[in-house]
Chain A
């Protein structure tokens, strides 16, 4: 068995270095081509007609006027008469025309008669959803009643975190050319290797005849794994138009309305503790919605619920609320933000009841987590960076117009590497190609692959040609669950080691030693322990004659734990520092501190950049983002980027990232980092605001409206 394990920390030349992302300049200068930049000769434009009603039956649909509209080449009925529509934005028909404008004009000529049915689109008030709420699980451990009775303090609260949209800057969509024999597919996807199968299944067309190409994607966050109805219809339009390519991208309103949301979570929570801060009991009645199928129970109580050692007495009851809104999709650490917010908010409210510094309460209870020492040290590190002991004041001391506050959120995540196969080719001219059917979501996957290959082959990063984004390359998993970096780094490492072994075998005779005694370093193949006996990389490759080397490597999740290249289990702590203007209710971010462990870090700069992004998303979620439904029409009121509010640079404040890089964490191998840092920020910010103003704002985002209402309730 070849030796695949990572080189020791002090021997690494490329891994662990702060290399700027390889496609950074191309992206910043606009040269990078996103899938939505695909423009082909002879291309048509597809546009969807969507349903304006939240719940309705299609009575009839007449496309004749659209068919005669100028430029129209194909019209498709998606929801024929009789279809029961369950949310506004449901795809009803589609048109392909010579120009986008012609297609838009044409869909407006499609006449649809609906029978409008009653709808429910808001779930914040459980008492108003009637039979749409269905029991969805109960659980009891220990003796919660006795524990609440014996507690030194009990805190009861109401908490809510709403539905929000993925709001990808590049909307969902694709270009497809399908002539019936082969299908060319340019999607915006997190799933380059797998999406052809999904599309093929819907079209009853062999996936092997579908070629997928994607170089850059403008955001997915968990919403871009499948071909989706618009992908399938785009293919049919192309076929109907004689195989001409069709470009169909959702407009912003449709993107926000149907292309993915994070489910909500609301809860009445009762939590109890002892004078020393020990949490003894938890009781929650929660409800959630992610659309027509309801919404699941987030993993509450979060983190402090390790098997056997977690909060001992618990009673949970959950209701799933079915709404006439488009369905949820995975959203950067599914259900963890919700769980973290509900749990950490309740814990800090309990700390206030106990007259304790919440930091001490968290520290007191780390034994209830799966990683007590890690959390303890991270809490201390984050507190040190935040100057917690100097700046933190109890809620009751809040005063003045501008009030500063601090709060904490805690995260956990898996992040094991997914299935990934890499093919590494070494050519006689010395060039190296590394091929994977993977994708770079902006997280730096390309760069990481290049670093691993360069490290292994003893070459500089720019000697590696990374080829991803084609399903003709070896299969690599979808990018979800923070599984990509572990998967591609391990498969790349193995493929490069395997390729190198083949090269050693060719070169060994010339250097007069057995292949096992060779190593690749500093652009040379050399004898271990005797760098003087060496051959430059190019000269070594010339020995291949006319035959390139190609070798593959695979990360197989089942056996990966034994190999140790990647593993799972990350944890982190976020601390927010805010200032609240109590006359206007406006919250300003001062700082967001993120301490994060994630195993072996291939590129600290990219890792930090992931965390910056996660923090910014948390700020949006804590202060601004929510999907707003109109009760009467059942439509999304803010399906735009004007009232669907996202932070701009001035709203972000300072972000301080501390990566827990240490031999202890490094030896765990690579662990995914995309999601965990996006978990704790909302809780931290909400807690900081409660600390600043002396009262809990029950529901995020913390708009001026909600902050002022909470302050007024306290005064009343």
Chain B
């Protein structure tokens, strides 16, 4: 870990004033479950670390007229135990439950989850975000069992955040604040596919802090997340599917289906959404939706199995959502 200056501001205003204009100048520290590892591996070598856990404005979960406001420093565990979230957003609860271990759920924050860096093993061993060597992708020619099945390059890592897919399915926004003001960005647009080594996988700018997440009300919206995991303890999902279904009686008025761990961003399965409109969800409709979800899949040499996992995850998420 490179030596750094440490700041622990008490207000958002002080905090944003401490940030830099370029990556590498300052890093925001929340739970530290990702940042500290990145720093230990010299993947992030910020000159300054700005702890935001002491900023009250970033804390807490509250109901607003339009839905829910989740502060960026709310921990995964806090979210799991929040009654408002439990009542209306099973898809968030199901996503949160799968995250790692009690220790990480106690420390890791929802803001940190959305801003965490990819877990691609080429990136994490120092080969860069796009993992190019001599003009060729290490991922494509190497071991890509955990990589993207929806990407035409140059990025092949998968978005790591378990909250990304359900938040997109629910139509949530994030609020980003810098010294000059705030902006709201749809979570669907917060995740971006980097085209070169110097860009990031999220729309956050180096001088911004993610302050809160705004989730629209899910009254009358059936939602669920289904994860396929290799092992139960301390593991990443192989594939996830989050669905949010606006229902009219027994039929789907409109659907959102978002896949996780299959592309450099959460992947919106638009074809499925169209196909589901007006349908009743049953075993065969769910299965057909799963098939439709993989239409554009382009698996790499060692991750063809993820295509099958997407089909199952979509099917099971849909059936879970409409379960009484």
A residues in contact (CB < 8 Å) with B: 101, 104-105, 108, 583-586, 623-624, 628-633, 635, 637-640, 642-643, 645, 647-651, 703-705, 708-709, 712
Contacts and interface: CB of A to CB of B under 8 A. Distances in A.
Contacts of A704: 228, 230, 238, 305, 309
B305 A105 contact: no
Instruction: Give 9 nearest A-B pairs by CB, closest first.
Output: A648-B233, A650-B232, A705-B305, A637-B121, A583-B312, A708-B305, A651-B231, A584-B228, A630-B142
A647 B146 contact: no
26 contacts: A105-B3, A584-B228, A584-B309, A584-B312, A586-B228, A586-B230, A624-B230, A628-B143, A630-B138, A630-B142, A630-B143, A631-B143, A633-B138, A635-B125, A637-B121, A643-B146, A648-B233, A648-B234, A650-B232, A651-B233, A704-B230, A704-B305, A705-B302, A705-B303, A705-B305, A708-B309
B6 interface: no
B228 to A, nearest CB: 5
A639 B125 CA distance: 9
Given A637-B121, A704-B305, A632 B138 contact: yes
B253 to A, nearest CB: 28
Nearest to A711: B308
B125 A647 contact: no
A523 to B, nearest CB: 47
Given A105-B2, A633-B127, A709-B305, A645 B228 contact: no
Nearest to B307: A708
B84 interface: no
Contacts of A638: 121
B262 to A, nearest CB: 14
B6 to A, nearest CB: 14
B1 interface: yes
Interface of B: 1-3, 42, 119, 121-122, 124-125, 127, 133, 138, 141-143, 145-146, 228-236, 238, 302-305, 308-309, 312
Given A108-B42, A584-B309, A637 B232 contact: no
A643 B232 CA distance: 13
Nearest to B141: A632
B233 A649 contact: yes
Contacts of A651: 231-233
Nearest to B42: A108
B145 A647 contact: no
Contacts of A650: 231-233
A645 B236 CA distance: 11
A637 B127 CA distance: 11
A250 B297 CA distance: 41
A708 B146 contact: no
Contacts of A104: 1
B195 to A, nearest CB: 22
Contacts of A586: 228-230
Nearest to A650: B232
A175 B292 CA distance: 60
Given A105-B2, A631-B141, A709-B305, A647 B228 contact: no
B232 A648 contact: yes
Contacts, number: 84
Contacts of A649: 233
A642 B1 contact: no
Report whether over half of chain A's contact residues are helix, strand or loop; otherwise say mixed. loop
A183 to B, nearest CB: 31
B125 A637 contact: yes
B124 to A, nearest CB: 8
A624 B234 CA distance: 12
A357 to B, nearest CB: 31
A704 B308 CA distance: 10
B285 to A, nearest CB: 17
A628 B142 CA distance: 10
A585 B305 contact: yes
B305 A637 contact: no
Contacts of A708: 305, 308-309
A637 B233 contact: no
A632 B142 contact: yes
Contacts of A640: 124
Contacts of A631: 141-143
Contact of B230 (A101, A105, A583, A645): A645
A238 to B, nearest CB: 25
A642 B138 CA distance: 20
Contacts of A635: 125
B18 to A, nearest CB: 23
A645 B138 contact: no
A712 B308 CA distance: 10
A632 B133 contact: yes
A505 B2 CA distance: 69
A210 B161 CA distance: 52
Contacts of B124: 640
Contacts of B238: 704
A392 to B, nearest CB: 26
A71 to B, nearest CB: 11
Contacts of B143: 628-631, 637
A706 to B, nearest CB: 8
Contacts of B232: 648, 650-651
A245 B71 CA distance: 48
B1 A101 contact: yes
B105 to A, nearest CB: 14
A351 B308 CA distance: 31
Nearest to B306: A705
A585 B238 CA distance: 11
Nearest to B309: A584
A149 B230 CA distance: 43
B53 to A, nearest CB: 23
Given A631-B141, A645-B230, 8 more contacts: A101-B3, A633-B127, A637-B121, A637-B122, A637-B143, A638-B121, A642-B236, A645-B231
Contacts of A101: 1, 3
Contact of A705 (B2, B121, B145): B145
A650 B141 CA distance: 35
Contacts of B304: 709
Contacts of B133: 632-633
B161 to A, nearest CB: 16
B47 to A, nearest CB: 15
A649 B124 CA distance: 27
A705 B303 CA distance: 8
B307 to A, nearest CB: 10
A640 B228 CA distance: 22
Nearest to B2: A105
B119 A642 contact: yes
B305 A648 contact: no
Contacts of B236: 642
B9 to A, nearest CB: 25
A105 B121 CA distance: 23
B77 to A, nearest CB: 18
A624 B231 contact: yes
Contacts of B146: 643
A651 B146 CA distance: 20
A647 B233 contact: yes
Nearest to A629: B143
B37 to A, nearest CB: 9
Contacts of A639: 125
A579 B173 CA distance: 41
B223 to A, nearest CB: 21
Contacts of B228: 584, 586, 704
A251 to B, nearest CB: 9
A642 B308 CA distance: 24
Nearest to A100: B1
Nearest to A701: B230
Q: Which of B127, B133, B228, B231 has the most CB of A within 10 A?
A: B231
B142 A648 contact: no
A154 B234 CA distance: 43
Contacts of A108: 42
A703 B230 contact: yes
Contacts of A584: 228, 308-309, 312
Given A108-B42, A583-B312, A637-B143, A623 B231 contact: yes
